[in-house]
Structure 1
């Protein structure tokens, strides 16, 4: 596959028999989301749209994805720049996982937080290690999971999404399974993935693409929510007070309610 000859810095890619494994790989940043990660994942998905029947999205053993790159936000703040990352490329990346002409599978080990939940909720199937955890921590810093919510509500409903947003507390893989965020979990998630791929590899790409297109036509909620989600994201990340809280947290490790 042409995909295998491409050089990436933030992801690792391998392929076998129509299945592409894409691993987010920023261990130095706890798999935080920056512009390069978004761009490289987008490039890989473009190739997958033409070549892959199944796309497996993975993280690191201890952290699937920790959300926005706070260190990058701190750097912009200290340079005097408030407005940060354009949210549209990330929203479109999640929409492609949800609606693209392949089966998207999130294989979650460790911690999935904030924007990491966006990746999880966007995928067709979510398989988790039973010690994985899922959380939305944004409100601790005056933010909100604006772009995550359309994908999360689509999976869990408004009540569960509201609970995760307001409590900011992590829930276990078993709880996430009960709520519909996770489809299956086991102690040996690699074996769980293997069992699912034994069946998924029997699917034909044309049939999968046709089904995904039809499913997207039945539910256009992601497209309808996009303008509001982008506007809300830009509002909270354009708030100087919120950005200052993030910069302080990165420098000192102190949450907004903790004194200097």
Structure 2
């Protein structure tokens, strides 16, 4: 299914429900998160959307199994999920619902996009974070605008070039996450008390104003989608991805 949705009071929980596969960002997951946001926006009682995985994994990013089945010559099929993923991140920053990422396990590649695009990111000490795209000949193109908005330029730049893995304490120090707590549910409860003081239209107006101060616009979307689509279509990148899927070795480890 990709995403399980359950309301609890004024919070709608959207839980990525394929941990045995790494909770990948595939078409079903992306559309499931769009639908969850639709539901939260449509219900006046829901004020907060909480996106979660579990302690095994938050989100491993692009579903390589799905991507590897797309022909490099099929530009529309390559672009479509990239467009929808960017649109999801973009919706987070304009929705009248407050979007929260609850990170209890590894967040990798596109999983960092969910974290960076969220309004609030809460992690447990077991969380970890990595931009791994460069290892597969890819780019964090749809993620970077939201990472830079949250963290500034240098930290995402270094993360993209080196694929370093950060623990939760480092992520907090670098402002990738807003809190590191043992009990994320208690942190959500405290956040809900604050969010409940503001009307939904006022949340949307505040987000709209801050969006106007930043570079996330139509030109940014077009550059991001074009850049990542070109890398996915590159035969050498796809060869490395298929070798990773078939043999388990990393792309730089030649057969």
TM-score normalised by the chain length of structure 1: 0.89
Question: Residue in 2 aligned with 1:253?
Answer: 248
Question: Residue in 1 aligned with 2:188?
Answer: 193
Partner Cα distance (2:178, 2:143) in 1: 18
Tell me by how many angstroms 1:80 deviates: 8.8
The structure 1 segments of at least 4 consecutive aligned residues displaced by more than 4 Å after TM superposition are: 79-83
1:152 is aligned to 2:147: yes
Tell me by how many angstroms 1:166 deviates: 1.0
How many matched pairs? 251
For residue 227 of structure 1, give the secondary structure of its aligned residue in structure 2.
Answer: helix
TM-score normalised by the chain length of structure 2: 0.91
Question: Residue in 2 aligned with 1:113?
Answer: 108
Work out whether residues 101 and 213 of structure 1, in 8 Å CA contact, stay in contact via their aligned partners in 2.
no
Work out whether residues 60 and 109 of structure 1, in 8 Å CA contact, stay in contact via their aligned partners in 2.
yes
- Give the alignment's Cα RMSD to 1 decimal: 2.0
> Which aligned pairs between 1:1-260 and structure 2 lie closer than 5 A?
9-51=1-43, 52-76=46-70, 84=78, 86=80, 87-260=82-255
Work out whether residues 131 and 187 of structure 1, in 8 Å CA contact, stay in contact via their aligned partners in 2.
no
Partner Cα distance (1:44, 1:189) in 2: 20
Distance 1:209 1:176, change over 3 A: same
For residue 64 of structure 1, give the secondary structure of its aligned residue in structure 2.
Answer: coil
Partner Cα distance (1:196, 1:205) in 2: 15
